[in-house]
Amino acid sequence: MRKPRYYDPRLPRSVLIVEDEPVQRGMLLKAMPDMGFECAAAASGEEALKELEQAAYTVAILDLNLPGISGMKLFDLIRERWPGMSVVIMTGYGDLSTAKQAIRMDVVDFLTKPTTLGEIEQALDHAYRRALVVNADPAQLLPPRPKPDALPAAQERDNLNLQHLERDAIIEALKRADGNRTDAAKSLGISVRTLYYRLSQYNLDL
């Protein structure tokens, strides 16, 4: 696996591919390690939900045109059950209304097939960066959960480290954007409202 550009030990570089087309699914599975991600795949929304209940994934790539549960319904369930997960939609059946709905649900990227591997890699890096910012509390993600015998002091230290990482990422994004909070939020992969909340949380007046 290629050494990832963005990485934090509390958040696995893991992606779940939900794609019903076997050739496309196989291509993505083969490409993920070269992009620095561990991966698994599901051919339907139902399979995806079973997988999500058993393992930890930081990012999901969803096709919209799935058998059974639709891609947008699956996206809605992910937002409800695992709000810390970043979602990239990749579909050949997107339309403007669907794209707008996905944006309201805080999709990281909306890719229309055919999509290049370069575009997918860029979207995944963006998705992982969003997860680093959003997941100050890693419990928003999936199991594996903290071990019962984990020391409280160690847990507290890990949480503080992740919060420091999030705070530093926000400061750096604002510097690059010359203080423009809209541009900074876009580069971080979060909404402006979320950025303002984080600024208040960390007592940042930038």
pLDDT digits (tens, 9 = 90+) for 102-160: 667 778 888 888 889 999 999 999 899 888 887 755 455 444 434 444 434 444 444 44
Asked if residue 196 has pLDDT above 50, the reply is yes
Residues 6+ apart with CB under 8 A from 51: 16, 40, 42, 57
Q: Which residue has the higher pLDDT, 55 or 197?
A: 55
- How far, CA to CA in Å, does 191 sit from each of 26, 134, 199, 200? 33, 10, 12, 14
Tell me the pLDDT tens digit for each residue of 65-92: 899 999 889 999 998 999 889 999 988 7
| Predicted pLDDT at 121 | 92
% of the chain surpassing 90 pLDDT: 33
Residues of the chain with CATH 3.40.50.2300: 14-134
pLDDT at 157: 44
What integer pLDDT is reported at residue 38 of this predicted model? Answer: 94
CATH 1.10.10 boundaries in the chain: 150-201
pLDDT mean over 168-177: 80
Q: What is the pTM of this model?
A: 0.64
Encode pLDDT of 16-41 as tens digits. Answer: 999 999 999 999 999 999 999 999 99
Mean per-residue pLDDT over the chain, rounded: 79
Q: In sequence order, which ranges of the chain are alpha helices (DSSP H)? A: 22-31, 45-52, 71-81, 96-104, 117-134, 152-176, 181-188, 192-201
Triad 81, 84, 86: Cα angle to 5° = 105
Q: How far is CA 81 from the centre of its chain?
A: 14
Rounded distance, CA 172 to CA 176, Å?
6
Q: What is the CATH number of domain 14-134?
A: 3.40.50.2300
User: 59-62 and 14-18: which strand pairing?
Assistant: parallel
Share of the chain above pLDDT 70, in %: 74
- Per-residue DSSP letter, 84: T
Region 150-201: CATH code: 1.10.10
